């Protein structure tokens, strides 16, 4: 059974940091791209960062570039999202997902590219 378990969300003040974790199981971790998406109230789900654990390629959407860092621990089949300099507009439910898609060279993430999804973890950034 494929499982993705996202955790690490919470309430933080603007300028603060959080680290999200996505623990995966049930599929060959290195064969998939792992992505982080977020969905704010009333907005569509957007892809913000992804990683190819096999080669280490990463992608960041412009709004998080320079503030967020994605990484993987292949021994633990886990992906992390370190979020620094958080802003109120980062408030959303954050989801991790796995899909067979290229990371290198991508300029945008699409929900349909990701086959497996975890439950979300809520990040709230207060001003």
For 51-104, what is each residue's pLDDT tens digit? 999 999 999 999 999 999 999 999 999 999 999 999 999 999 999 999 999 899
**pLDDT value at position 45?**
98
* Token duo for residue 46: 């957007």
Q: 114 is written with which tokens?
A: 């990701």
- Please give the C-alpha separations between residue 17 and each of 71, 87, 108, 113, in angstroms, as whole numbers: 16, 10, 24, 28
Q: Give the pLDDT confidence score for residue 20 in this predicted structure.
A: 98
Q: How big is the chain by its Cα radius of gyration, in Å?
A: 13
Give pLDDT, residue 99.
97
- pLDDT (tens digit, 9 = 90+) per residue, 106-125? 999 999 999 999 999 999 99
For residue range 5-50, list pLDDT tens digits in order. 999 999 999 999 999 999 999 999 999 999 999 999 999 999 999 9
- Whether 117 and 55 have beta carbons less than 8 Å apart is answered as no
In angstroms, rounded to a whole number, what is the distance separating the alpha carbons of residues 99 and 112? 9
* Residue 61: predicted pLDDT: 97
The phi-psi region of residue 10 (left if phi > 0; otherwise alpha if psi is between -120 and 50; otherwise beta) is left
């Amino acid at each position: 059974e494929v499982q993705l378990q996202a955790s690490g969300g919470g309430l933080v003040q603007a300028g603060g940091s959080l680290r999200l974790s996505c623990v995966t199981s049930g599929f060959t971790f290195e064969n998939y791209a792992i992505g982080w998406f977020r969905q704010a109230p009333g907005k569509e789900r957007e892809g913000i960062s992804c990683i190819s654990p096999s080669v280490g390629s990463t992608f960041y959407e412009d709004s998080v570039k320079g503030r967020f860092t994605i990484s993987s621990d292949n021994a633990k089949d886990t992906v992390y999202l370190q979020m620094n300099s958080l802003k109120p507009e980062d408030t959303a439910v954050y989801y991790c997902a796995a899909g067979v898609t290229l990371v290198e060279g991508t300029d945008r993430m699409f929900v349909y590219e990701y086959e497996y999804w975890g439950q979300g973890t809520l990040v709230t950034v207060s001003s």
